[in-house]
Structure 1
Amino acid sequence: MTLKKISFFLSLFIALSFVLKGQDDQQKTQVNPEARQYYYEANKYQAQRAYKKVATLAKKAIKADSSFKEAYMLLGTAFNKRNKLKKEKSVYQNLIKKQPEYPGSYYNLGKVHMQLKNYDKAKQKFQKFVNFPNAPNQYKEYAEKNIKKAKFRLKAMQNPLPFDPKNAGGNINTSAGEYWPVLTADANTLFFTRKIIEDSTSFGMRRFNEDIFYSKKNQDGTWRKAQHAEGHVNSKNYNEGAITLSPDGNYILFTGCQWPDGLGRCDIYLSKYKNGTWTEPENLGRPLNSSAKETQPSISYDGRTLYFASDRKGTTGKLDIWKSKRKPNGEWGEPENLRVINTSGVDQSPFIHPDNQTLYFSSKKRLGMGGTDLFYTKKDSVTSKFKEPKNLGYPINTQDNEISIFITADATTAFVASKMEGGYGNYDIYHFKLPEKIRPKPITYLKGKVYNAVTKEPLKADFELLNLKTNELAVKSHSAAKSGQFLVPVQSDHNYALNVNKAGFMFFSDHLPVKPYDSTKPYIRDIPLQPIQKGKKVVLRNIFFELDSYKLKGKSKTELQKLAKFLSNNPGVSIEIRGHTDYQGSKNYNRKLSKKRAKEVYHYLINQGSIKADRLTYKGYGEKE
């Protein structure tokens, strides 16, 4: 067999490693026949992946002919396949001493230095290779990419971020593997996926099953013993994982693969929390799911945008990040590819922070520390489109694979899964203080209980948070049936109207003055709902007038429309509208102004068309009550 044929054979097995040059150069190479025979035999073992034998024969070839560069390259490859990188490095260094003008040794030595994290040396060797006029263009392009990588990693390592990860402990982590952590808005409940190793099959292979677990936080900050999520969300024969929790904690979305009702390889499913347990999962169906793979969902704080990874039609790489918006009727719209984020490689694990502005994800193709790195991108304040992503930095990102990240609502703490040393044997869940330069905007949360004002019994009631500036619905949810409790994130820089209602009860109105904002202080609101009875009153806290005027402000309409709807749903109810003012001005002036304000509300309700005038009266009370 000629050397030309041997060169072609070798190139099949050395992916992205430098192989032999053209025919003219090889014909000029005078090789010792004994060395050539050893080299030929080594290639046969190369095809069988018997790399130890390859190394033995390649060494014999070099001993027989110390100038046989092809044998050096084969020996280096054999060491690389056995992860003996220092020995591989020594092979190329020796070849450079023998033949300093051979470009392939510099190229492969640069690769070894990259694997050993010797980025400065790697950059030098790749630059030396690029400077050779006879270096093949296909390898030059790869070398130039590696020069960029080396420069990036050197700079990142010279400017490390503060990073002190803490293991979540033995009540969470086991030797089986825990990953995909998510937390409630108050960070007091942790959900995650656990890989459960089951008995061996009849074929001698071990089976595993992925289930959803959760843990509650103790007052001292430690986690209680993790438990299986109650109810029907976990199945016996299928895997459940990569979950996202709805803003109010009333439902979870997760990935189910190879399920009987699946539309593709993996689909996104929903399970609701009802009466203290999780319901049977529902496939979200088309157009969200497809005949391809949909996985790793992450839902926005308002519950109206779902981000996920998919290789569906229209994907630009191997796996892309997509988003779908919920329609007014509750159905999910046609997914949209986030092209500014996606590359020709694998982009996955989206996490949209509750600030609804910052998206975190992982990518293998982008410039990073190696393997799969974590990135983040923020929405443009003008266009609301995501900007060019940025690497989270070193040592959060390493040469290994960093797959996913979750960040608490207050933006201070990140949760990741890692196989770092000192764990319980597999992927463990860790948490660490997130460096300020890569934090999202912090948000707080609204937490409380809805109950019957007379009997004190907890109530399941609907509530809404509305942005008073835009008049847009921010959050729509309900309190739990058994406990009456609710929990929702609240974005900063906005004032909100809080409306709570339940059939047979007076509706409840409150005002959340989020400005000035303090992310460390949540809003705690226990809400007593008054049964509809004669003589009971409701304070409308979101009716606003111009200063020293009875002209209604535009942001009052949300509250007035809620009042009109309440009256329409309760045709037997008649009300008196009572107007009030502050203590500025004389009592007589304030009484007149408050009456005009009450009258203005009266006319607004009458003009809605569905409320008869004889159900309404109005009166001004000035600064009284």
Structure 2
Amino acid sequence: MNYRSLKYYLALLFIYPFFLFGQTQLTYKNAIRIADDMFSKKDYYGAALYYQKAMQLDSSDVQLWYKLAESYRGYNDYPKAAFYYLKVYKKDKDLTIPFGAFYAAQMFKSSGNYKYAYKYYKRSKRVFRKDKKGYYYQKVLQEIKSAQWAKKHQNDKPLFEWKHIDEPVNSYSSDFAGIFINDSVFVFSSLRDEKMKDDNVVTDTLGYLSALYKVNFKDEQFKGLEEISSKFDLDDYHIANASVSPDNKLLYFSVCNRKLKCRIYAAEFKNGKWQNPIDIKEVNTANEEYTTTQPFSTLINGREVLFFVSDRKGGKGMLDIWKAEKDDFGKFTTPENLQNINTPDNDITPFFNAQTGELFFSSTWYFGFGGYDVFKTPDFTNDTIKPENLGITYNSPANDLYFNQYKNKLAITSNRKGGLTKKGETCCNDLYYYLIPQLDTVTQQPVFTNLEEMNRYLPLSLYFHNDEPNPRTRDTTTTLTYEQTYLSYISRKKEYLKEYAKGLKGEEKEDAETEIEDFFDQYVAQGMKYLEEFTPLLLKELEQGKHVTLTIKGYASPLSKSDYNVNLTLRRIQSLINYLQKWQNGKLLPYFLRASKSGGKLD
């Protein structure tokens, strides 16, 4: 399986169920045959179980390791997949199986281990360098930069914590595409493994189909679960990805066959019942080999616009985002590809905020923390504006999708750790929500208090070069600011790289250099960045007349006697005080001296 085989993975966004059957005197060949058959049916969990049985009989075959890694990747067991891909790479060195390092890096990234993701993406680069304009070489270059970006931001402080929705909305299978259609109704899609036993064995998978559900929402409680799609005359199809038209008359959704080829349909709720769904032929393709899915309907400049996802011809990558506008006759115009935001990878789950004009979507190409991250663009028609990653508040190392907002209600789909699962902690998608305490009346964006913003940066860690500031002295004070010591420290990065990798060659040298890059980028530079962002927030609190006490703890390495280290620690603390007192020509100094007009004090 290569990377492009992920093309349809998120057409519906569920993990396939599995079945097990009895075997007596299981042989190695039979175990492989059964596992291969399950894998071909995208039954990755069951395939992994039988590949494991084969491993118990003979664990020497590198091809078997690779098949097991592929199965673990298929149902998002990132650590196990990384282990076996790495095992393949170390044995084969990408000579006969060229994707060992590449997929090991992917799995490390999806586990949040960005240092190793960076390391093995760099090693996989040589495999694809013969075709430098090809997809895989360009993908590796992008992912190397993305892993560095993720390392720099993985310790960012989230603005809030998403709330996991309890049963019966979330299940032990896959629940996705949740959306508040109004203040009191939440609609979502689900593939329900109703027959799953406590030992994870399912006796029958023939009837498994995704369906649409709705639930009432009041006082942060989700109650009254009801299936919507059972009202439609669409037997033997997956039905998912609901969106309501701006006039609240139509419900758009995806209808997909067993091969996950999808079309967009719409149904009207009239006279107390659902009318027969209709195929939106203007946006669907005549060629059944292509898929059209994940509709989102909105209003732009007074006209209804339908965003959707498709892999049809004319796209930029694998799954692309498209749009079509409804004309005066109630028909959709010829779909247009959103060339300015689509990439060579998958770009999916569009949501348009009609109040702000921002388009949100998930992608595996732009710099991110995991597989799919959520991004936004303030103007999808402007090719000079790069989509912005929503950051650690919204994204995780896993897949984060279907972000949407209704007034102060946010919803997101994710297979991040913390969901309901019986097949591995990141196997399946779950639904999360958040209620914004305060909403800007103009931008409709969350408003957080200054104190909440400040707490994102605490505790704040700062780093110094050995014996700095003012080396080889027993002074307890210094005139240097922390910023000056930081600039001096960061300027020695090349010196550290050379010294740390001295005497090493090949992969060992590369590993050593990665360690130093990681330290300077993720810790030293990040600490200074946080200090620069924290200080203006501190000023805001003081300007409101607040009394703020900062607790500073200093540390020194045990290379010298304890009394020497105590003095060094005092100099380091003083450098931070100097930074604060001299920041922006002394804006904080009156608060140190108890001479501010607001009455604010800083201790």
Normalised TM-score (structure 1)? 0.49
2:179 to 182, 196, 199: 182
Give the match for residue 229 of structure 1: 228
Task: Measure the CA separation in 2 of the matches of 1:350 and 1:211.
Answer: 20
Trace 1:549-588 onto structure 2 (pairs within 5 A). none
Deviation at 1:423, TM superposition (A): 2.5
Trace 1:17-32 onto structure 2 (pairs within 5 A). none
Deviation at 1:163, TM superposition (A): 4.1
Larger Cα-atom Rg: 1
Give the match for residue 195 of structure 1: 191
Residue 245, structure 1, aligned to residue 253, structure 2? no
Are the equivalent residues in 1 in contact too, given 2:150–2:367 (CA < 8 A)?
Answer: no
Local SS of the residue matching 2:154: helix
Change (3 A) 1:329 1:124: closer
Residue-by-residue CA offset, 1:483-537 (whole Å, 9 max, x unaligned):
xxxxxxxxxxxxxxxxxxxxxxxxxxxxxxxxxxxxxxxxxxxxxxxxxxxxxxx
Give the match for residue 263 of structure 2: 267
Are the equivalent residues in 2 in contact too, given 1:75–1:88 (CA < 8 A)?
Answer: no
Are the equivalent residues in 2 in contact too, given 1:162–1:435 (CA < 8 A)?
Answer: no
1:423 to 420, 425, 435: 420
Give the match for residue 280 of structure 1: 276
Q: Tell me the amino acid that sits aligned with residue 400 of structure 1.
A: A
Give the match for residue 545 of structure 2: none
Give the match for residue 300 of structure 1: 298
Q: CA RMSD in A?
A: 5.0
Residue-by-residue CA offset, 1:453-491 (whole Å, 9 max, x unaligned):
xxxxxxxxxxxxxxxxxxxxxxxxxxxxxxxxxxxxxxx
Trace 1:5-404 onto structure 2 (pairs within 5 A). 83=80, 85=82, 114=109, 117-123=112-118, 144-185=141-182, 187-197=183-193, 205-218=205-218, 220-229=219-228, 232-233=231-232, 235-258=234-257, 265-286=261-282, 288-291=284-287, 292-301=290-299, 302=302, 304-355=304-355, 357-379=357-379, 387-394=385-392, 396-404=394-402
Deviation at 1:252, TM superposition (A): 0.8
Q: Tell me the amino acid that sits aligned with residue 310 of structure 2.
A: S
Local SS of the residue matching 2:166: coil
Residue-by-residue CA offset, 1:323-342 (whole Å, 9 max, x unaligned):
11111222111111111111
Task: Measure the CA separation in 2 of the matches of 1:328 and 1:283.
Answer: 19
Residue-by-residue CA offset, 1:8-36 (whole Å, 9 max, x unaligned):
xxxxx9999xxxxxxxxxxxxxxxxxxxx
Task: Measure the CA separation in 1 of the matches of 2:2 and 2:285.
Answer: 39
Change (3 A) 1:279 1:109: closer
Local SS of the residue matching 2:224: coil
**Bigger mean CA deviation after superposition, 313-322 or 412-421:** 412-421
Q: Tell me the amino acid that sits aligned with residue 431 of structure 2.
A: I
Deviation at 1:306, TM superposition (A): 0.7
Give the match for residue 618 of structure 1: none
Are the equivalent residues in 2 in contact too, given 1:287–1:334 (CA < 8 A)?
Answer: yes
Local SS of the residue matching 2:312: coil
Are the equivalent residues in 2 in contact too, given 1:173–1:424 (CA < 8 A)?
Answer: no
What residue ranges of structure 1 are gaps of 5+ in the alignment?
Answer: 1-12, 17-44, 60-70, 97-103, 445-625
Local SS of the residue matching 2:401: coil
Q: Tell me the amino acid that sits aligned with residue 158 of structure 2.
A: L
Deviation at 1:359, TM superposition (A): 1.2
Aligned length: 375
Deviation at 1:92, TM superposition (A): 7.9
Local SS of the residue matching 2:149: helix
Are the equivalent residues in 2 in contact too, given 1:318–1:346 (CA < 8 A)?
Answer: yes
Residue-by-residue CA offset, 1:296-338 (whole Å, 9 max, x unaligned):
1101135511111112231222221111111122211111111
Residue-by-residue CA offset, 1:120-170 (whole Å, 9 max, x unaligned):
35545766898x9x9978698665444212201102203243341212222
**Bigger mean CA deviation after superposition, 172-181 or 355-364:** 172-181
Deviation at 1:86, TM superposition (A): 5.4
Task: Measure the CA separation in 2 of the matches of 1:363 and 1:166.
Answer: 23
Are the equivalent residues in 1 in contact too, given 2:110–2:398 (CA < 8 A)?
Answer: no
Task: Measure the CA separation in 2 of the matches of 1:193 and 1:129.
Answer: 37
Task: Measure the CA separation in 2 of the matches of 1:108 and 1:424.
Answer: 24
Q: Tell me the amino acid that sits aligned with residue 253 of structure 1.
A: Y
Q: Tell me the amino acid that sits aligned with residue 389 of structure 1.
A: P
Local SS of the residue matching 1:149: helix
Q: Higher RCO, 1 or 2 (CA under 8 Å, sep at least 6)?
A: 2
Percentage of identical aligned residues: 22
Task: Measure the CA separation in 1 of the matches of 2:292 and 2:391.
Answer: 28
Are the equivalent residues in 1 in contact too, given 2:256–2:263 (CA < 8 A)?
Answer: yes
Change (3 A) 1:112 1:225: closer
Change (3 A) 1:94 1:112: farther
Question: Of Structure 1 and Structure 2, which has the larger fraction of its residues in strand?
Answer: 1
Give the match for residue 406 of structure 1: 404
Task: Measure the CA separation in 2 of the matches of 1:115 and 1:74.
Answer: 23
